[in-house]
Structure 1
């Protein structure tokens, strides 16, 4: 009995060269036989999953006369003289090919060597198209009983056998195309990503929001505290930044008279790489005139619960072994109360910053340089001690004004703003607030940011004079929010790293040692 051929362990460079050379020789042989190893097209009638579903009840040994045409990649080959079995994979799944010499000779009578070519000149990894009927073998395997075939693409490199990231995670990300071929769950993650993103867009469009694109290249990076990428326009002779948020331009649209706008797009931040951070990522930002942060907390609950139910069929999910219930309503708690609950510290009672720092030091927390206010210190304690404990969905509310330069002051609490962050599975998933509409207050906050930037804070932004001019024309009461789509997809696909949900994450050149993820 012939041994089945299947993907092999990653070969050494010399072996890889030898395998590639052998496949190139087969290309030459195919061309000499008048066969194009890189075809132009193939008409398909079905996918593998369609056939598996349609004929799930076909008994062993039975055949059907329906003619089908499918195409895909060979994942395994077993050859037994005048009979061969291939496993074929397309976008939807796999199906067996039943290849009998007499059937192929009858179906391809104008090509007397067709079965020989199939046996000798095809390899695991090649893409082929086949036509034939359906049968379930005596062993119970649904198969296409092939009458005709065509080699559509000759693969010059072999597929690996073990490509599951256990020993070489970076290579999976670097050669995502191979990862997608041999790891069907990876394809399912990106299929779900597409469905989730589409469902988000549909959710907003059904509620009267318009998606309007805003510039990626900007003269002043703003809308967040983040270090930007810097570039240069030669013709205009001016430095530019890749956007760190879509906020300030979307809010200009509210000034212009639109009442509900959003944008799904790429954001670029020149920052560290970790399991939660990639230098470019996808977000949605959305804005609604005449709404406040209470309205958007309710909207966010409904949005995420609806999307989860639509794509996964439930609002109870498991993330990295922990059950999370996304069924609304979700907990709402102020940053001050949550910190006091976890540490016993009441940040409203400290007489000055030094006293607050002394109390925080007793907790064993090292305060970052530049922590120049009690409000920033409160946020430091939250990030150090509490953030990772928020597993079930929680709206953290009423942040210090010092860390919220674009938020409207709280209508009844001094020193804080009407802002919320959504935390799920110990990380921030969304950030929203009642938007600051007072251009004078906004100028003061921009200038405070600019002073920090001048003092060396790489994440602080400058003064966007055009945005201030827009505010002086008047922006209606507005609520805005941003949701990190990659982090949401991580949650809904049970993916431990952001790189698992970005098809082509940014990586160091292959010659460099990979950075450890933090």
Structure 2
């Protein structure tokens, strides 16, 4: 549980995030937590709720708002993922998600630099911050001043792993090698955008227009911690349906069920070019306050009730 001083700093963080987006003419939205259908994602296990599901992210709702004419929107909300618990994971957590029409993933990278700089200036005095623009966490000292490093997935595996990203994917060991060999080295001296994932791991990101073997997806790492996941959004309904079908088949192979999100697919062609990103608020709070565990950044967690 956070102390009163910690609660004040968390509150300041949330208000700093809101002020950043409101000053840039974003609309703050507040979508339902309980949904009748979710985006099929084999590695995420949702909580059921009286015939519905608790959201694993607000993405499906926010994209419907974009299809309805919104240009730039953001949301700070609670999300729920079953069987996620650890130093960097909680079954219930706070997520910041935002979308901007007319942008791609490189635009989002630049905005991430601006957002973190804004937040740091708005909440000085946090235990994890030194000299205003440097972060110290678990032995790492990270310079937050932009520009931050851009590193492709292929380059990161070449630099830090014993095998290439292609070979890791072929051996079905990509996630294992990424977590064990690559991630601990990322963002140790300045934040790193790890980008251009193999298209097989593109999720809802579009194929690169320069290299169709990769997807326009990135993850932001600070002090070895994955902080955000962003895309140039895939808006081709046919390709997205094919990806969803493969995901549904994987879910079914694991003995579970999933449905095709038909309404989302129907909306995709109305999105146009758009970029979107999800950022873990609890993880950001953990880094700024100098805590070792994200549970220490929550006002209360289930185990304390």
TM-score norm. by structure 2 comes to 0.91
Deviations 1:13-33 (A, max 9, x none): xxxxxxxxxxxxxxxxxxxxx
Residue deviations 1:402-438, cap 9 Å, x none?
2222111111112210011001121110110100000
1:501 is matched with: 297
User: What CA distance in whole angstroms lies between the structure 2 residues aligned with 1:481 and 1:323?
Assistant: 25
The Cα of 1:447 is off from its aligned counterpart by: 0.6
1:269 corresponds to: 81
1:463 equivalent in alignment to 2:260 = yes
Equivalent of residue 489 in structure 1, options 285, 297, 302? 285
Equivalent residue for 2:200, pick from 402, 412, 418: 402
Distance in 1, Cα, partners of 2:165 & 2:255? 25
Counterpart secondary structure, 2:123: helix
**Does residue 112 of structure 2 align to residue 300 of structure 1?**
yes
SS of 2:197's equivalent? coil
SS in 2 for 1:285: strand
1:219 paired residue among 36, 39, 47: 36
Q: CA RMSD in A?
A: 2.0
Q: Any unmatched runs of 5+ in structure 1?
A: 1-175, 181-185, 233-238, 349-355, 361-372, 510-518
What are the Cα deviations for residues 382-416 of structure 1, in whole angstroms up to 9, with x where unaligned? 22211122223110001122222211111111221
- Does residue 337 (structure 1) correspond to residue 155 (structure 2)? The answer is yes
Measured in 2, the distance between the counterparts of 1:443 and 1:481 equals: 21
Q: Which residue of 2 aligns with 1:40?
A: none
Distance 1:347 1:265, change over 3 A: closer
What SS does the corresponding residue of 1:507 show, helix, strand or coil? helix
Distance 1:322 1:205 in 2: 32
Q: CA separation of 1:457/1:211 partners in 2, compared to 1, >3 Å: closer, same or farther? A: farther
Number of matched pairs: 296
In 2: Cα distance, 1:275 partner to 1:424 partner? 15
Is this contact kept in 2: 1:223–1:247, CA < 8 A? no
Q: Partner residue of 1:289?
A: 101
Please give the alpha-carbon distance, in whole angstroms, between the structure 1 residues aligned to 2:262 and 2:272. 19
Instruction: Provide the rounded CA distance (Å) in 2 between the counterparts of 1:375 and 1:478.
Output: 33
Q: Distance in 1 between matches of 2:247 and 2:155?
A: 27
Report the CA distance between 1:346 and its aligned residue: 3.5
Distance 2:68 2:74 in 1: 14
Closer/same/farther in 2, CA of residues 316 and 193 from structure 1, 3 Å limit:
same
Counterpart mapping for 1:355-434 below 5 A: 356=167, 373-374=169-170, 377-390=173-186, 391=188, 392-434=190-232
User: Residue 60 of structure 2 aligns with which residue?
Assistant: 248
TM-score by length of 1: 0.55
Aligned-pair CA distance for 1:194: 0.4
Partner SS state of residue 227, structure 1: coil
Matches within 5 A, 1:447-462: 447-456=245-254, 462=259
CA deviations over 1:455-507 (Å, ceiling 9, x no partner): 1176x9542111111124x2110000000000000000001111110011122
1:494 and 1:241 map into 2 onto residues whose CA distance is 34
TM-superposed deviation, 1:226: 1.1
Q: Name the SS for the 1:417 alignment partner.
A: strand
- Partner Cα distance (1:307, 1:489) in 2: 11
- 1:223 Cα shift? 7.3
- The Cα of 1:200 is off from its aligned counterpart by 0.3
Contact between 2:252 and 2:258, CA under 8 Å: does it hold in 1? no
Structure 2 residue aligned with 1:195, among 2, 8, 12?
Answer: 12
- CA shift in 2, pair 1:322/1:383, >3 Å: closer
Q: Distance in 1 between matches of 2:226 and 2:156?
A: 15
Is the CA contact (8 Å cut-off) linking 1:376 and 1:402 kept in structure 2?
A: no
